[in-house]
Amino acid sequence: MSGALNLWRLFRRKRTAVIGLVVFALIVAAALLAPVLYPEDPGDMVAAPLLWPGEDMAYPLGTDPLGRDIAAGIFHGARSALMIGGISTLVALAIGITVGALSGYYGGWVNDLLMRITEMFQTMPQFILAVVLVAIFGPALSSIITALALVSWPPVARLVRAEVMSLREREFVQSCYVIGMSERSIIFGQILPNCLTPIIVTASIMVATAILTEAGLSFLGLGDPNVVTWGAMIGAGRESLRSAWFLVAEPGLAIILVVLSLNLVGEGLNDALNPKLKMR
Amino acid sequence: MAKTKTGRSGGSLAAFFARRLVQAIPVLIGIVLFSFVILHMAPGDAIDVMAGEAGTGDAAYMAQLREKYGLDQPLYIQLARYGVQIAQLDLGYSIRNNMPVRDLILQRVGPTMMLMSVSIVVSVALGVLFGALAAIRRNSWLDDLISLVALLAYAMPIFWIGLMLIILFSVTLGILPSGGFIDVARQNVSPLGRVMDVLWHLVLPAMTLSLFYFAIYTRLMRASMLEVMGLDYIRTARAKGLGAAKVTLRHVVRNALLPIVTMLGMQTASLLGGAVVVETVFNWPGLGRLTYDAVFQRDYSLLIGILLMSSVMVIIINMLVDLAYSWLDPRIVAR
């Protein structure tokens, strides 16, 4: 507990990090409150079409050409963005940590093989790979999350591999061999908990990147048609770009807020967890 | 990756490329294998898609087509055939476009490379310039402003930047075209006029793609400059009486550039992905636009061809980046 307290003391020294955390907390609250504030399906027509923001205060962000409430879309979109970004990051972390730990711990041919595979996934352009996977497996939540996870695990694998390689030579790990601990409990119980710090920092940035990639996919029409996403709202708003640009601007600002807040939190965590770097 | 080596005894340029190509082979084989697997995990094959489009489900005809394209063979034979085919640089045939996939892709590589190279140059140049300015004037209002712009640009979806630029420059100000490659309404223009026309259409897409990467390079350059400025040899350079400008340019900037080049190599794949999105926003006739069309025509062989070809492009660009690295830092020999 004192570790967490200490971390918070270091984290709050940076104003931008605290601002990022507050904004992110507000977005999480918006996502959680979406079904309460806007219980109707955000895809339903509720008002006159193409109301400008502020024209009717019941629909503060305006309505689209089908009379759908933009504010409802933004709130429900927060839900899907955080869910897709969060789950795909967890899956990517699971793949990346496994690959990194195995290749860092065992070295040899295991390392060679796994690093070639990692290199392979870093050579294929991430966005094109995601588009190809979703196009082939169909635009459903499961395939979108799988595609996002498949394109984002390689940096985790490289990071964990480097950490594990340096940790396995340390005395506390060597002494675990001596007392006869099993390899599995050495990897999961001793080594991995000690590389949690950089993983946490990376994870916050990965969620941000996954949200951006997902927005790009749904902008291209590759989102799950049953889920409201900001990217899809921008894609639809593009049709009336000349007459009602707010349809494109508003969901875009929502994406920027999420990504920006996550980046600020990640940066703040990085500084707090590596206090030495702050001396620069 | 460039490796550190003492001395300058690296091989010739040709040897460098040959060695790197050999190193790339396992990765390429892996990508081909991966493509084969996802193609075969796809629900339905190309024949199902064709039959669905044509509205016929004649089983005998479909079986005949499968036989013609070898889709009735056992998987390992299909894989072997696929491997041989790829090794002959044959990426398959796009039934939908009635054209070999390779030719379809080669037609579109040019505009994408044009967009990417202009964006790389613009984003690196501006990123280095503004990152260096921010570092030199650290903690001033200029530094704050540059850092804020970079922070915001780093959080923007690329396609959104494009749409906002269209609203500003095409819809509101009406000074730049909102999309396309050339002005089709203007016929009989001189070759030079045509070049200017294409460049004019390139302004917004390149600006869009550059802005995001500009943010990355600005942030990196600033951090990198601050790091180098604190090193001992910079103090030595100052102590021996070199002018501030000379120290900054020759000693700080040059050394601070190394991480930029590393990052450039790491960003190639991402930049190509960004180009795909930008091309669909601006109707730029490159690989991205081709990808978009292939998605909606469910042209899987074309999609896989694009994935393979873009991976090859990434490998080639990374080689060039490593060459640039050894040029910047002679201690590092490209190999």
CB atoms within 10 A of CB B201: 22
* Close Cβ partners of B173 (under 8 Å, ≥ 6 residues apart): none
Enter the DSSP assignment of A192: G
Residue B8 has pLDDT above 50, yes or no: no
Does residue B211 lie within any of the structural domains? yes
CA distances to A92, A161, B133, B242, B333 from B251, in Å: 41, 34, 15, 10, 20
Identify the bridge partners of residue B100 per DSSP, sorted by sequence position.
Answer: B93
Would you state the pLDDT for residue A13? 81
Q: Report d(CA B95, CA B326) in Å as an integer.
A: 45
Contact A260 B167 (CB under 8 A): no
Least confident residue range of A1-15, A180-194, B296-310: A1-15
Q: Report d(CA B267, CA B270) in Å as an integer.
A: 5
Condensed to tens digits (0 to 9), the pLDDT of residues A74-122 reads: 888 999 999 999 999 999 999 999 999 999 989 889 999 999 999 999 8
Contact A245 B157 (CB under 8 A): no
Which residues of chain A have a Cβ shorter than 8 Å from any chain B Cβ? 116-117, 119-120, 122-129, 131-133, 135-138, 208, 212, 215-216, 219-222, 231, 234, 238, 241-242, 245, 248-249, 252, 255-256, 259-260, 263-264, 280
Q: Report d(CA B95, CA B305) in Å as an integer.
A: 13
A-chain residue closest to B45, CA distance: A136
If residue B333 lies in a helix (H) or strand (E), which one and from where to where? strand B332-333
On chain A, the residues whose CB falls within 8 A of the CB of B307 are: 124-125, 128-129, 132
Contact B179, B111 (CB under 8 A): no
- The pairing of strands B3-4 and B93-94 is unpaired
Q: C-alpha angle with apex B3: B272 to B319, nearest 5 degrees?
A: 30
On chain B, the residues whose CB falls within 8 A of the CB of A219 are: 157, 159, 277
Q: What is the longest distance spanned by two Cα atoms in chain B?
A: 87
Query: Chain A neighbours among B 150-179 (CB < 8 Å)?
Result: 151-152, 154-160, 163-164, 166-167, 171
Torsion sign, CA atoms B26, B88, B270, A27: negative
Does residue B319 lie within any of the structural domains? yes
**Per-residue confidence band for A27, with pLDDT thresholds at 50, 70 and 90:** very high
Least confident residue range of A46-50, A65-69, A77-81, A131-135: A46-50
Q: Report d(CA B63, CA B47) in Å as an integer.
A: 9
* Most confident residue range from A267-271, B233-237, B249-253: A267-271
On chain B, the residues whose CB falls within 8 A of the CB of A126 are: 269-270, 273
Say if residue B182 is exposed, middle or buried (CB neighbours under 10 Å; 0-12, 13-18, 19+).
middle
Contact B1, B24 (CB under 8 A): no
ipTM above 0.85, yes or no: yes
Count helices and strands (H / E) in chain B: 13, 4
Would you state the pLDDT for residue B56? 64
B-chain residue closest to A259, CA distance: B155
On chain B, the residues whose CB falls within 8 A of the CB of A265 are: none
Contact A180, A58 (CB under 8 A): no
Does residue B51 lie within any of the structural domains? no
Residue A278 has pLDDT above 50, yes or no: no
Nearest-by-Cβ selection for A125 from B42, B155, B273:
B273
Identify the bridge partners of residue B99 per DSSP, sorted by sequence position.
Answer: B94
Condensed to tens digits (0 to 9), the pLDDT of residues B169-191 reads: 888 888 888 777 777 777 767 77
Contact A225, A139 (CB under 8 A): yes
Residue B207 has pLDDT above 90, yes or no: yes
**Per-residue confidence band for A275, with pLDDT thresholds at 50, 70 and 90:** low
Please, how many CA atoms are within 13 Å of residue B123, restricted to the half-sphere of its CB? 31
Does residue B221 lie within any of the structural domains? yes
Q: Report d(CA B243, CA B233) in Å as an integer.
A: 14
| Inter-axis angle of helices A154-167 and A141-152, nearest 10 | 50
Does residue B55 lie within any of the structural domains? no
On chain A, the residues whose CB falls within 8 A of the CB of B291 are: 128, 131
- Best mutation target, A117, A220, A264, A279, to test chain B (most B CBs within 10 A): A220
Residue numbers of the domain that contains B243: 2-42+73-332
Q: Which residue has the tokens 């100052």?
A: B238
Contact B270 A126 (CB under 8 A): yes
A114: which 2 tokens? 């796994």
Least confident residue range of B214-218, B293-297, B323-327: B323-327
CATH number at residue B178: 1.10.3720.10
pTM of the model: 0.87
Query: What is the count of structural domains for chain B?
Result: 1
On chain B, the residues whose CB falls within 8 A of the CB of A252 are: 156-157, 160, 163-164
Which amino acid makes up residue A110?
A: V
Residue A152 has pLDDT above 90, yes or no: yes
- Residues A53-77 as b/e (b if ≥16 CB within 10 A, e otherwise) read beeeeebebbbbeeebbbbbbbbbb
Contact B32, B79 (CB under 8 A): no
B1: contact with A, CB 8 A cutoff: no
Strands (E), chain A: none
Least confident residue range of A98-107, B28-37, B294-303: B294-303
Does residue B64 lie within any of the structural domains? no
Least confident residue range of A88-92, A153-157, B125-129, B137-141: B137-141
Q: Report d(CA A68, CA A72) in Å as an integer.
A: 8
Residue A255 has pLDDT above 90, yes or no: yes
Would you state the pLDDT for residue A258? 94
Condensed to tens digits (0 to 9), the pLDDT of residues A179-234 reads: 888 888 888 888 888 888 888 888 988 999 999 999 999 999 898 888 889 999 99
Does residue B157 lie within any of the structural domains? yes
**Per-residue confidence band for B63, with pLDDT thresholds at 50, 70 and 90:** confident
B32: contact with A, CB 8 A cutoff: no
**Per-residue confidence band for B4, with pLDDT thresholds at 50, 70 and 90:** very low
Q: Nearest C-alpha of chain B: how many angstroms from A128?
A: 6
Q: Nearest C-alpha of chain A: how many angstroms from B319?
A: 12
Does residue B222 lie within any of the structural domains? yes
**Per-residue confidence band for B126, with pLDDT thresholds at 50, 70 and 90:** very high
Say if residue A193 is exposed, middle or buried (CB neighbours under 10 Å; 0-12, 13-18, 19+).
exposed
Q: What is the longest distance spanned by two Cα atoms in chain A?
A: 74
Contact B31 A120 (CB under 8 A): yes
Q: Report d(CA A12, CA B41) in Å as an integer.
A: 49
